[in-house]
Structure formats: structure tokens, C-alpha cells
Amino acid sequence: MPFTPFHLGPGLLGGVLFKRQLDALTFVLASVIVDFRAALVLFGLLGGRLHGPVHTYLGATVLSVVLTATVVLTARHTQSLNRINFSPHSVRHVLVGAIAGSWLHVTLDSVLYTDIRPFAPLSVNPLFGTAGLGLVYGGCLLALVVGCGVALSQYHRASV
């Protein structure tokens, strides 16, 4: 998506709904970090295609392993990160969150953009056009609203 914040909605909603199966903060982070390289290209700091190798399931998986290592190492050395994490914290939960979040990003973008090859090295994108722009963007916004509501509800219940 041209605006990475659209990915926050599905990331937040998925994180709060599946917080027992995955690390919610890693899921949210992974759902937006896929666009880091695309942002560098968009702002002219890097050349090449806008949606490059990280916008594939293979590239997103490699990114997920790096993100998992970073989160786990940071969490082990930073007490404050552990305090803000609101989901079970194990390497498995972090890895599942990273893979699910990055694959969600690739899937959403694959539906909308012709230059994405999610199954690279294969050059096909069978997901392209399976949903319209309005449906995907509207779904992302709705997920953000519902995700915020669920997160606030869970926070309120935990603090009572």
C-alpha cells in the first residue's frame, strides 16, 4: 500500500485477536516493516522497483527471522520492552508474529499491485485483482477501528 499506516489496522486487529498464539507487538511491527525498503525507494534514497524482494513470501520470511532475532535479543536486554509487551513472550510466539505479520502485508499488497511477485522466484501473482482497492483499504480502516476498540476493551478489563 502506498501508505504503510493502512497496514496498522490488520496488524493491530490480528495482534489483539491472536495474542495467545503470537507476539502481538511483533505482529504489528512485522505488518508495517515490510515497507521499509519501499519507503527508501519512494523517497529516492534507494533505486530499483518499489516493491522489491521483501514483498515476496520468501523475502518476508527472511525478514521475519531477522526481526525475531532482533526482538528476542532486545527483549532480553531491555526491561522496558518486556513491560509494554501485552502478549506471551517466547521465541516461538515472536517468530509466529513476525511471519504472520509480514505475510499479511505481502498478501494485502499482492492483491493490489501488479509489480509484486509474492511467490518469487515464480513470476506469477495469482492474488492480483482478487479484491478491489476500496474493499482492501476499507477493510484495513475497519480493522483499525475494531482493533483499537478490542485493544482498549482488553486494556480496560486488565486494569480493573
CB neighbours (10 Å) of residue 95? Answer: 20
The SS3 assignment for 80 reads: helix
Structural domain count of the chain? 1
Three-state SS across 104-145? HHHHHHHHHCCCCCCCCCCCCCCCCCCCCHHHHHHHHHHHHH
Neighbours of 129 (CB within 10 A): 11
Q: Could you give phi then psi for residue 119, rounded to 5 degrees?
A: -105, 25
Condensed to tens digits (0 to 9), the pLDDT of residues 24-60 reads 899 999 999 999 998 899 899 999 888 999 999 999 9
Full-model pTM: 0.87
Q: Can you give the pLDDT at residue 3?
A: 56
Q: In whole angstroms, what separates CA 23 from the centre of its chain?
A: 12
**Which residue range forms the structural domain that includes residue 80?**
4-159
Q: How confident is the model at residue 87 (pLDDT cuts 50, 70, 90)?
A: very low
C-alpha cell at 50: 518499489
